[in-house]
Structure 1
Amino acid sequence: MAKPDYINEFEGWKQEFVHHYPITVRFSETDAFGHLNNTVAFVYFEQGRINFFKEIGLVEEWFSKSGEAIPVTADLHCDFMKQVFFDEELLIHVKVHEIGQSSVELHYKITNDKQEVCMTGRGRMVQISRETGKPVIWSEGSRSKLEASMNK
C-alpha cells in the first residue's frame, strides 16, 4: 500500500507518537465479513482525540458551561493498511502535527498487538465560539498545552 501523502517519512513518523489509548474491537463494530466496519475507524479516532484532549488538559475548558469555545471537526481522513477483526486489542495513537491560530491538525495511528500499523489518519479540529460559530484563537494556556504535547 502506498504511503499516505500527509506522512513524509513513515518509519520516523511512526516513532513520534507518545500518547496512546487501548481499545478492543467489539462484535457490533464488525461487518458481515467479520472485519472492522470502515466507519468505525472514525469513532476510534474520536475516542483517541477525546482521551488526548483530556490528558493534556483542554477538555475542562471546552466542556465547562461557562466556556466560550468548543472544538469541531473540520476534516478527517483515514487510510486503511491492514484488516482488523473482532476482539483484537488495538492502540489508538494521537499526536499534534501542526497548530494554527484557532485550529490543530492531529495525526492518528492505530496499531494491533503485534505493533503493526492497521490504520493511519489525519484531521483538523477548529475551536469555535459557542455563540457565533466563528473561530476562537487559542489562549496562551491552550497553545502551551498543545505545544507541550509535541515536545514529549
Structure 2
Amino acid sequence: MDDFIEQHPIHTEIPVAWGEMDALQHVNNVVYFRYFESARIDFFTQIGLFKELQTASIGPVLADNNARYKRPVTYPDNLLVGVTISDVQTDRFMMHYTVFSKAQQAVTTLGSSLVVMFDFKTGKKSVLSGELLASLKSHEKQV
C-alpha cells in the first residue's frame, strides 16, 4: 500500500458499502463511476476548479468515461482511488483513476475520464484559466 500512496499522492479513501454489492456478491460495475466521481471532486476541490465555476460559470464536463475491471471487490473493504492527470490542453485534460483494495492489497480497477471545460452561460466549450492550467500542468504525469 505504501507504494500505491507514493505513486498516487492524490487519492481519496472510500469505504465499500454493503448496498453497493449486486446479486453476484461483488461491487456492481456502475458503482466504480461513483468512486471515480468522488475522487474527481476531491481533486477539483484541491486545485480550486470550483471557484471558477462559481465566479465565471465555467466548469468541467465529462466527454468520455471508462473503467477496466481487474479484480472483484466485496464488502467489507476500504478503497483508495488514486488520481493522475495527463494530456493537459487549453480546454481539456485526461484524468486517470487507479482503485486499490486495502483488503486485497491490490489494484482492482483502472479508469479514465476526458474532462472538457464548458461555459454554462454560452453553452459552449471554454478554455482553462491560466491559474487552473498551471495547477493541472503541475500535477501532469506522462501515462
SS at match of 1:121: strand
Partner of 2:134: 144
One-letter amino acid of the counterpart of residue 120, structure 1: L
14, 27, 30: which is aligned to 2:21?
Answer: 30
* Distance in 1 separating the partners of 2:56 and 2:106: 40
Question: How far is 1:116 from its partner?
Answer: 0.7
Question: With structure 1 as the length reference, what TM-score do the two structures score?
Answer: 0.83
**Contact persistence 2:87–2:140 (CA under 8 A):** no
Question: How far is 1:15 from its partner?
Answer: 6.6
Alignment deviations for residues 32-68 of structure 1 (CA, whole Å, 9 cap, x no partner): 1221001001110000000011112212222x1x323
Partner of 1:71: 60
84, 98, 118: which is aligned to 1:109?
Answer: 98
Question: How far is 1:125 from its partner?
Answer: 0.7
SS at match of 2:76: coil
56, 77, 84: which is aligned to 2:73?
Answer: 84
- Measured on the aligned residues, the alpha-carbon RMSD in Å equals 1.7
**Contact persistence 1:107–1:122 (CA under 8 A):** yes
86, 96, 110: which is aligned to 1:97?
Answer: 86
**Contact persistence 1:56–1:149 (CA under 8 A):** no
Alignment deviations for residues 79-132 of structure 1 (CA, whole Å, 9 cap, x no partner): 000100012110011110111221111111000114311000111011111122
Q: Count matched residues.
A: 136
**Contact persistence 2:98–2:111 (CA under 8 A):** yes
Identical-pair percentage? 30
Question: How far is 1:69 from its partner?
Answer: 0.4
Partner of 1:59: 50
Q: Does 1:20 align with 2:7?
A: no
Partner of 2:36: 45
124, 133, 136: which is aligned to 2:123?
Answer: 133
* Distance in 2 separating the partners of 1:104 and 1:93: 16
**Structure 1 segments of 4+ aligned residues over 3 angstroms from their partners:** none
Q: Which runs of 5+ in 1 are unaligned?
A: 1-13
Question: How far is 1:28 from its partner?
Answer: 1.3
